[in-house]
Amino acid sequence: MSSSETATTAESTTTGHDGAVRLEDVVHRYGRGGETVTAVGPVDLTVPAGEFLVLVGASGCGKSTLLRLIAGFERPTHGAVRVTGAQPRPGGAAGVVFQTPRLFPWRTVGGNVDLALRYAGVDHARWPEHRARLLARVGLEGTEKRRTWEISGGQQQRVAIARALAAEHPLLLLDEPFAALDALTRERLQEDVRRVATQTGRTTVFVTHSAEEAVFLGSRIVVLTKGPGTVALDLPIDLPRGDVDAEELRASREFAALRARVAHAVKTAAAA
Ligand code: ADP
Ligand code: MG
């Protein structure tokens, strides 16, 4: 996969829609009347275009809720959410990847990607070219005709990522996408997502509870307190991006120091 791939015609459609995210005094509650749960907030957070933000925190602190607010699946109870300056609506602002791949089992791998291209409004004649490029981007060349039940869980999640990339949304949201995968597959997918994000320049918000995953992926990490989550730590990660040897990076002293720092912050925030 060469970096020249990033400059495709399709991706230039994102010009002027930078995917920057802005959360202003955001609080979200579920339920109504006396039966409400405050899930998250108050949170103030700005994610500049092109940043890879990782949200880390204990289970139940409101990570998925924040992502759903940014995706436009929920409207905040209080405060404002803006993506590229506008109120987000489902399917409008972001590609979303969930913990489980949510593929259509009766369709082939290629058929699943095609469906995303149709939703994205891509001209039918250009589907083969887009499909091949998207599958190559997630390391699935030559799998178009496979059935989704014939491929591994890791490959299924790669298809889900290809689908999320199909619409050329400038923003990519991922909610613990690798949590159900084995360690080796998880590391390989982390490397792919890191590379794809660097190559495409997409603004990315990635949710995890793993300090290791956060430090490997993020250009910035935000640790949330236990629920209702608020920002406990906001840490820029200045590890090298672009053309790096993943194994070397993971083995580096800087990596270990950051991982320890984030792990400690997560533990402290969860106990507070
Ligand atoms: P996380 O993703 O960090 O585990 P969530 O955002 O899923 O956290 O949940 C935050 C809080 O909101 C939890 O207390 C959870 O039980 C509650 N919650 C999440 N979704 C709903 C819902 N649809 N209805 C009611 N409560 C919810
Ligand atoms: Mg969650």
pLDDT digits (tens, 9 = 90+) for 120-149: 889 999 999 999 999 988 889 999 999 999
For residue 30 and ligand 1, the question of a CB distance below 6 A is answered with yes
pTM: 0.89
For residue 56 and ligand 1, the question of a CB distance below 6 A is answered with no
Q: Please provide the average confidence, as pLDDT, over all residues in the chain.
A: 89
- Per cent of the chain over pLDDT 70 is 94
Q: What is the pLDDT of residue 11?
A: 40
Mean per-residue pLDDT pooled into runs of 10, the chain (272 residues): 38 55 97 88 95 95 96 96 93 86 92 93 94 90 92 91 87 91 86 87 93 96 94 94 88 96 94 80
CA of 258 to the centre of ligand 1 (A): 28
Q: In this structure, which topology does domain 19-93+170-272 adopt according to CATH?
A: Rossmann fold (3.40.50)
Question: Distance of alpha carbon 73 from its chain centroid, rounded?
Answer: 15
E-assigned strand segments in 123-230: 171-175, 203-208, 220-224
For residue 64 and ligand 1, the question of a CB distance below 6 A is answered with yes
CA-nearest residue for atom 7, ligand 1, is 64
Residue-range domain boundaries for the chain: 19-93+170-272, 103-168
Residues in CB range of 108: below 8 A, 6 or more apart = 144, 145, 146, 147, 148
CA of 129 to the centre of ligand 2 (A): 34
Cis peptide before 228 (omega within 30 of 0): yes
Q: What is the pLDDT of residue 139?
A: 86
Q: What is the pLDDT of residue 77?
A: 96
Q: What is the pLDDT of residue 17?
A: 60
CA of 198 to the centre of ligand 2 (A): 25
Q: What is the pLDDT of residue 34?
A: 78
Q: What is the pLDDT of residue 244?
A: 85
